[in-house]
Structures are given as structure tokens and as C-alpha cells.
């Protein structure tokens, strides 16, 4: 089997959809020798901020000398991004070896219960991290939590970043219902932490933690003001994610001791691409890449661009020694001569159809003087033409162009001094390839991110 053949095999598993439930993953893990029993985990769920929080946890524990596995999704460019050890991507040879090793096990499942792409990759990650003898694995959920394939592990701590409206068609149409799914990662007697501040969601998390005798730390209600480390990533919303990560580390100090200077060093060196990532092209053009893939993400991007605090930043900025507005000034458009306002922004926007496109356009369109609407490289893309009335209503003065592709939009935007690309992490992955920020894989591995659930999660709320 070659690497291309291994990727093609994984691609074929997409047609089994995403089945909510743990039965397949538990059985496949057992056939694989239950590698999860040889590992320690921090399990992270939430609507937004999961990846950033995972990246911070990984960076801090790696700075402490641990061998740290990192499991995240989706990938931006290469499938190999999903499985990392000490921030080194799994090699192509290891992808081939582990895919080839799991194929015989899949034959023990009947066709109607065949493991899905994510179930296979989850067990593949467990085998890889166990073979790599990781001291700790930072373990991000895929979708939801309660019935997500990652939920077969018993972690050292269960972390829920926040609860927002996203994936409602699968997780529920209220914050309470979504909170039930996310809080499903809380295990009996295992400490839980959350930065959720939505009262209806928090009540659900508190109830489930109580039922499972899991101590619950609500970051911001009691502890966060003690933390004085530098904010690690651009955007003041990252203060909250950093506070949650550091509080998690403090909670586990008796199991994995980490010194204060090590925490600071880990935060200062964390890297997480595609989230408020600002790059300068050879012609001097500044390009800001941000997934902003749902309403909450769009609000964070807007706050970073206009320099106005969002609901989280005002609450958390006092916890860090970094000046509250420093990072925002870096992200804001350059000043025009003789004017107090920034240069006009060009917004390149592509959104998935299952997101709240209207509200996202209402948030982002008013920021821009020029709007280029593009398709996302996904079967779930919203057609750019469908976004026009939403953007037009939100910003009738903007110049608006419907583009056939992201390369076309970038070509049209070459003279513009400040370009923001946003609306989907899939779009950001494509932009990173086009801008030379990421090696181009031999095949289009971004297509592995495309899936459709084969069954909805069972309702418990």
C-alpha cells in the first residue's frame, strides 16, 4: 500500500457517514488491543476554541518535557495534521502502516455496521500514540461528545470550552440540548472544567457533573483572575482559552507537576495556524486568515478587526500582563494617511450551507469595502450567489463580486492592502496552500473533511 492508496482507502470510509454511538469504536479498539488503556488523556469538547485550547495544553506539557500526542480535527491541508507527537505530524509511512494494520479488523464488522472514517481514525490514533509511548494525549472531540468516537477514553480531566449554537441539525436546536451532548465527556469522579458562561448551558453541565460525582471548575467564576501569563495567540478571546488551559494544568498538578515558568514558556511558544493568522505577502499586502466558521467565530473576528471588546475579552483581559489592546492593534487594518480609520478591508468570504449564513454575513459584511464571495471546497458549501442578498442587506455600500474560486478572488484582490479570508476552516486550508504557507500534498486531502452523518444522535434531553 502506498500513501496515496491509504488516503484513498480512508476517503472510501466517508461513505459510511458518521454514526453517532460508541459501539463500533469500542469493538474496533478491543480488536486493536485496547491501546487507550496504555495512555493518559485530557479530553476537550466545546463549540469554539477546542483546537486553540488543545494547542496550548500540548505546548505547555511539551515544554515540561513530556512526550505529548495531539489529536484534532478537521485538518487544514494534510490528513497528517490530525495525529501529532510533540507537534511532529505522523509520517506518511506510519499512515500507511496503521491503515494497513486496521484493514483486517474491519472485516469483522457486518456491512450495515461498518466503522466510519472518524471511528477508524480514532482507533488509528490510539494505536499510534500508544506505540509512540506518549506520556499524555490531548484529545479533541470530533462532533458533540456524548456519542463521539473519542468518548471511549477515561481522561485525567474533561474540558468543555464553551457552548454555542452550531451543528444544530445533529446536536440539538437549543443550548441546553447541545450542552447535554458536550457534557457527555464528563466521567464519574473525573474533574471537569468549563469556560461556559451561558446560564442555560451551564446549568446542564453542573447537573451532569453532580450526577457523576465529578468536581466542576467554572473558569471565571472563581479562579481565573490569579493567572498572569502572557496571552499566547492573537485575539483577546484567546485569554479565556489560555485561562482554561492553565486552570486545567493547575487542577492536575498532583498528577503531572508543571512549574510556573514552564507554563509561561509553553504559552509563549504555542502555534495554531488559521486562527487570526496574519501574514504579509512579498508585495506588502497583509492577509488575515481566520476560520470564523460559525456565528460565535464571526463575532470574535469582528471584535479583533474593529478593536472593540467582545463579551469574553472584557472579562478576561485583566488576567494577563499583556496590554488588552496590543494584539488587536496588530490585527487591525493599516491607517490611511490623514485619517483615523483603517484602510478599507477586502473580505473574501466562503461559508458552509449548514451554518447560519445570514447572521454570519450580517456580522462580517459591514467590516469590508470590498466583498468577494467564493465557494468552499466542500460538498456542503453554500453557493456564493446565495450569500449576496445577506451581504447586500448588511452592507449596501460595499463592492461585491461573486467569484468562481478562491484563486480568482485572490487575483482580483491583488491591489488591495488588507485582505481577510474567513468563513470556513476548509477555505483557510485552501488559502494556506495558495499562499505558500503549507506544503501542498500529492492529493487533495482536504476532501477527507467532507462527511454527512449516517444517523442522528439519540436524544436524551
Using one digit for the tens of pLDDT, what is the confidence trace for 53-84? Answer: 999 999 999 999 999 999 999 899 999 999 99
Q: Kindly report whether the peptide bond that precedes residue 74 is cis, defined as omega within 30 degrees of 0.
A: yes
Residue range 126-162, pLDDT digits in tens = 999 999 999 999 999 998 899 999 999 999 999 999 8
Give me the pLDDT at residue 420, please.
96
**pTM value?**
0.85
**What's the pLDDT at 261?**
92
Calpha distance 184→133 (Å, rounded) = 27
| Residue 19 pLDDT level (bands cut at 50, 70, 90) | low
Torsion of CA 33, 37, 39, 41, to 10 degrees: 120
Residue 396 has pLDDT above 60, yes or no: yes
Q: SS3 for 294? A: coil
Query: Tens digits of per-residue pLDDT, 76-86?
Result: 999 999 999 99
- In the predicted model, what is the mean pLDDT of residues 374-388? 94
Q: In what order do the strands lie in the sheet with 368-373?
A: 277-280, 286-290, 418-422, 345-349, 368-373, 399-402
Q: Which domains does the chain have, with CATH numbers?
A: 3-272 (3.40.1190.10), 277-437 (3.90.190.20)
Q: Is 308 in a helix, a strand, or coil?
A: coil
Residue 333: what pLDDT?
62
Q: What angle do CA 76, 457, 293 make, to 5 degrees?
A: 30
In contact, 384 and 413? CB cutoff 8 Å:
no
- The bridge status of strand 216-218 relative to strand 192-194 is parallel
User: What band does 311 get if pLDDT is binned at 50, 70 and 90?
Assistant: very low
Alpha-carbon distance of 31 to 304, in angstroms, equals 47
Mean residue pLDDT across the chain: 86
Give the residue, 11 or 105, on which the prediction is more confident: 105
Q: Is 150 left (phi over 0), alpha (psi -120 to 50) or beta?
A: alpha
Measured distance CA(254)–CA(269) in Å, rounded:
24
Residue 200 has pLDDT above 90, yes or no: yes
The answer on pLDDT for 228 being more than 90 is no
Per-residue pLDDT, averaged over 414-428, amounts to 94
The yes-or-no verdict on residue 457 having pLDDT over 60 is: no
Find, among 372, 381, 361, 365, the residue nearest to 425 by Cα: 381
CA angle 229, 233, 238 (to 5 degrees): 75
* pLDDT for the residue 169: 62
pLDDT at 455 (0 to 100): 53
Longest dimension (CA), the chain: 71
Helix axes 384-394, 357-364, angle to 10 degrees: 50
Q: Provide the pLDDT confidence category of residue 326 given band limits of 50, 70 and 90.
A: very low
pLDDT, greater one: 107 or 446: 107
Check pLDDT > 80 for residue 316. Answer: no
Average pLDDT over residues 220-239: 59
Instruction: Indicate whether 221 pLDDT > 70.
Output: no
In terms of Cα–Cα distance, which of 98, 123, 141, 172 is closest to 25? Answer: 123
Radius of gyration of the chain (CA): 21
pLDDT number for residue 314:
29
Torsion over CA: 358, 166, 245, 272 (sign): negative
- Looking at residue 119, its pLDDT comes to 95
Q: Cα separation of 196 and 218, whole Å?
A: 7
H/E element, 263: helix 260-268
Q: Give the start-end residues of each E strand in 82-186.
A: 83-85, 88-89, 136-140, 157-160
Residues 429 and 446 sit within 8 Å (Cβ to Cβ): yes
Q: Which residues contact 50 (CB under 8 A, 6 or more apart)?
A: 44, 72, 140, 141, 161
pLDDT band at 307 (very low <50, low <70, confident <90, very high): low
Instruction: Between 294 and 422, name the one with better pLDDT.
Output: 422
Amino acid at each position: 500500500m502506498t500513501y496515496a492508496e491509504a488516503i484513498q482507502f480512508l476517503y472510501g470510509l466517508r461513505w459510511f457517514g458518521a454514526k453517532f454511538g460508541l459501539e463500533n469504536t469500542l469493538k474496533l479498539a478491543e480488536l486493536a488491543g485496547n491501546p487507550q488503556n496504555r495512555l493518559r488523556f485530557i479530553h476537550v469538547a466545546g463549540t469554539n476554541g477546542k483546537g486553540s485550547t488543545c494547542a496550548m495544553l500540548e505546548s505547555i506539557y511539551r515544554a515540561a518535557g513530556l512526550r505529548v500526542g495531539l489529536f484534532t480535527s478537521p485538518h487544514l491541508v494534510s490528513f497528517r495534521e490530525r495525529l501529532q507527537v510533540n507537534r511532529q505530524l505522523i509520517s506518511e509511512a506510519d499512515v500507511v502502516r496503521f491503515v494497513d494494520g486496521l484493514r483486517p479488523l474491519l472485516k469483522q464488522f457486518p456491512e450495515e455496521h461498518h466503522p466510519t472514517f472518524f471511528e477508524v481514525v480514532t482507533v488509528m490514533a490510539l494505536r499510534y500514540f500508544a506505540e509512540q509511548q506518549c506520556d499524555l494525549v490531548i484529545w479533541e472531540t470530533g462532533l458533540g461528545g456524548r456519542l463521539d468516537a473519542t468518548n471511549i477514553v477515561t481522561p485525567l480531566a474533561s474540558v468543555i470550552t464553551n457552548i454555542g449554537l452550531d451543528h444544530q441539525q445533529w446536536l440539538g436546536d437549543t443550548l441546553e440540548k447541545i450542552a447535554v451532548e458536550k457534557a457527555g465527556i464528563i466521567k464519574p469522579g473525573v474533574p471537569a472544567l468549563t469556560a461556559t458562561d451561558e446560564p442555560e448551558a451551564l446549568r446542564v453541565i453542573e447537573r451532569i457533573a453532580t450526577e457523576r460525582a465529578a468536581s466542576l471548575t467554572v473558569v471565571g467564576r472563581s479562579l481565573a483572575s490569579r493567572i498572569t501569563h502572557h496571552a499566547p495567540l492573537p485575539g483577546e478571546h484567546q485569554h479565556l482559552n489560555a485561562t482554561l488551559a492553565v486552570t486545567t494544568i493547575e487542577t492536575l498538578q498532583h498528577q503531572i507537576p508543571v512549574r510556573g515558568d514552564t507554563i509561561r514558556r509553553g504559552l509563549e511558544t504555542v502555534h495554531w495556524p488559521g486562527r487570526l493568522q496574519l501574514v504579509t505577502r512579498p508585495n506588502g499586502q497583509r492577509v488575515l486568515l481566520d476560520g470564523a466558521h460559525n456565528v460565535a467565530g464571526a463575532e470574535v473576528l469582528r471584535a479583533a478587526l474593529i478593536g472593540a471588546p467582545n463579551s469574553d475579552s472584557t472579562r478576561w483581559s485583566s488576567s494577563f500582563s499583556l496590554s488588552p489592546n496590543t494584539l488587536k492593534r496588530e490585527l487591525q487594518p493599516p491607517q490611511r494617511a490623514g485619517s483615523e480609520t483603517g484602510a478599507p478591508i477586502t473580505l473574501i468570504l466562503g461559508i458552509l450551507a449548514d451554518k447560519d449564513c445570514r447572521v454570519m454575513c450580517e456580522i462580517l459584511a459591514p467590516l469590508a469595502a470590498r466583498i468577494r464571495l467564493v465557494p468552499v471546497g466542500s460538498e456542503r458549501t453554500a453557493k456564493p450567489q446565495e450569500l449576496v442578498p445577506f451581504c447586500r442587506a448588511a452592507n449596501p455600500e460595499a463592492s461585491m463580486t461573486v467569484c468562481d474560486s478562491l484563486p480568482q478572488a485572490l487575483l482580483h484582490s491583488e491591489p488591495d492592502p488588507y485582505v481577510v479570508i474567513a468563513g470556513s476552516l476548509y477555505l483557510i486550508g485552501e488559502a494556506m496552500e495558495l499562499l505558500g504557507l503549507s506544503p501542498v500534498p500529492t492529493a487533495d486531502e482536504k476532501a477527507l473533511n467532507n462527511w454527512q452523518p449516517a444517523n442522528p444522535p439519540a436524544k436524551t434531553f
